[in-house]
Structure 1
Amino acid sequence: MRVSIAGLFLVVFLSHGCMGRFSNIVDDDPITDGFRKSLPPPHARTVVWGGHPSATGTAVSWLQRQGLRIVERSKLQKVLDEQTIRLTHTSDDEAQVLRVGKLLGAEVVVFIDSPVTGGHQSSGGAYGNIAASGSATVYSTSIWVRGVDIESGEVLWSATARYPESFSNLDDMLVRLTCHALATAWGFRQVGEPETVLFPKDMCLAGSDSGR
């Protein structure tokens, strides 16, 4: 069987392109920004509140590894029901969550905002799209995390994380962005562009227990 040089070049080019796109999702750190005034003491009772389970689940695990005690979502929901509080899924909910957190004896509420746009088909070029010549549903998102003191309502720490590119594996990206935002707020990594950070690469990989 005869294979043309052009055909071999095309195979090599596509293979390299697929590997390159996949390695970006594994190796590149997102762009972050943030600040912290103070961090909660060890074992502080904490409520985690957000709209996407991948982001909130990551935050719960991450904060538990830092020694915080997390109030179970079911307990929070029980008080919301008992108080006949109807959340509107807007910024007005934050005052209600702070009030319920206080009733539960919490000291801090961690709010997680994860706006998602997109959900359209794209043919190649997206993070997490291994099939360079195929198509995938791609999204754009970012993460904003804030630690708010329940008594004063003061923001104790805050950070954002984002990728400039769109991507197809939404849950994986929310996990990674949430971890990097928290790591920035808590001082485990510097703010800024991916290539400028000094950060343990395994800290925000799935299943990692780093950063404790």
Structure 2
Amino acid sequence: MIEAELKARVHAPEMVVQQLDARATARVEMYRDTYYDRPDGSLKKADEELRVRTVHGADCTRTVLTFKGAAVDEESGSKPEHETRVEDAEAMHAILRGLGHVEIIAFEKHCRNYEFEARGRQMLATLVRVPEINGTFLELETLVDEDEVNAALDDIRSVLLELGLRPEDLTRETYTGAVAARRGAALT
């Protein structure tokens, strides 16, 4: 499946929260993301990502391993995504290191997640603040087959407009890149 996704900078977070609260119940969570690569940086060079995410929510903590392939849509950066739940986060980190992967960056994301249906699609809206980065972001995504990416992105753009976000608010800036820049480090 392809994660058709657009990300926007949010200039009026309170207004967007009100709009989203009218659509669904928020799930407030803190993500601890750790990204890995091979020592030669070949995943980054291939536009691929390998991530371990531990999600701390009100009711539970869960960890997922995610691999994202190269973007299938350059404008949005939408990628194939494969994800599985992991029982033991520390063991997963040890396995990846044991297989020769190296940690390239780790950081926290503070998220308000909303799941709802729009335009006949199941969508996930995530309002994001990363403590090391100025500003608030909104990620809006849906999972689709590759031949549906363009139509799904059009639907996502329509929902973003309904939420008060404009085309000029869209960004391809990555959290990994922004956090690395803030720390004065380069991603390998």
Q: More strand per residue: 1 or 2?
A: 2
Q: Bigger relative contact order, structure 1 or 2, given CA contacts below 8 A and separation 6+? A: 2
Q: More helix per residue: 1 or 2?
A: 1
Max Rg structure: 1
TM-score (norm 1): 0.28
